[in-house]
Amino acid sequence: MDREKFINRWKATAEELRLQLHLGSKDLSDKFEDQKKEILNWSKETRAILEKEASTTSKELRKKLEALEYQADIEKAETKAALQEQRKKLTSLVRESNEAAIKLLGDSKKNVRELALKADAKFDEWNMRFDLLRLQINLGAADAADEWSEKKESLNQSIHQLESRLDDLSHESEEGWSNFKSEISEAWGHVKKAFS
């Protein structure tokens, strides 16, 4: 993935997280359904690519992706409790799939390693979205409005810092770009920490 595409993808993710912060409960439920569809489609595409690979780690990831697809294809949750339960199950499956993708990084085939890197980034993104959803569900009640406002401001600041770093990176030289991985990992870590 080239530099510009990579930066633009991260900027889009940061903006989507910022938008999710401001959704109401009905919009939140719809956004969750959109995420389930994205997971289902991405998982099917990724599993199809992995069908050509015979390694044990490829098979393990395919199995995890099948379970993820099954869970993502469940009907829309009509209650807060059902939404929370679906989120929990999807979060668990995303984490298990991420672990399988990380194991796949050791594969010697370049295309498989690249797929595993993309999967790792996608799973991180979904975990963060589900953590945000968990926060919004738990803190969205009227008695938690003040706490949610404080948390939302903290999350906004973390996202802003990530966006600022992405802007800086798009203007840096190749030397600066070589340090990108560790810096973006650190910035992404700060955002994830704010969501936990």
pTM comes to: 0.67
Q: Is the pLDDT of residue 2 over 70?
A: no
Q: What is the mean pLDDT of the chain?
A: 77
pLDDT of residue 119: 86
| CA pair distance 176, 186, nearest whole angstrom | 15
Count of helix runs (H) and strand runs (E) in the chain: 8, 0
Q: Write out the DSSP string of 99-138.
A: HHHHHHTT-S-HHHHHHHHHHHHHHHHHHHHHHHHHHHHH
pLDDT of residue 143: 45
pLDDT in tens, 148-186: 667 667 777 777 777 777 777 666 655 555 565 556 666
| CA pair distance 184, 172, nearest whole angstrom | 13
Q: How confident is the model at residue 43 (pLDDT cuts 50, 70, 90)?
A: very high
Q: How confident is the model at residue 142 (pLDDT cuts 50, 70, 90)?
A: very low
Q: What is the mean pLDDT of residues 46-74?
A: 90
* Number of CB atoms found within 10 A of residue 109's CB: 13
- Residue 75 is classified by DSSP as P
pLDDT of residue 169: 67
pLDDT of residue 24: 64
Q: What is the mean pLDDT of residues 92-116?
A: 85
Q: What is the mean pLDDT of residues 34-54?
A: 90
| CA pair distance 113, 102, nearest whole angstrom | 9
Q: How confident is the model at residue 78 (pLDDT cuts 50, 70, 90)?
A: confident
- The residues near 128 (Cβ < 8 Å, ≥ 6 apart) are 17, 191, 192, 195
Q: How confident is the model at residue 60 (pLDDT cuts 50, 70, 90)?
A: very high
| CA pair distance 118, 104, nearest whole angstrom | 11
- The residues near 94 (Cβ < 8 Å, ≥ 6 apart) are 39, 68, 123, 126, 127, 130
Domain ranges of the chain: 3-195
| CA pair distance 95, 8, nearest whole angstrom | 25
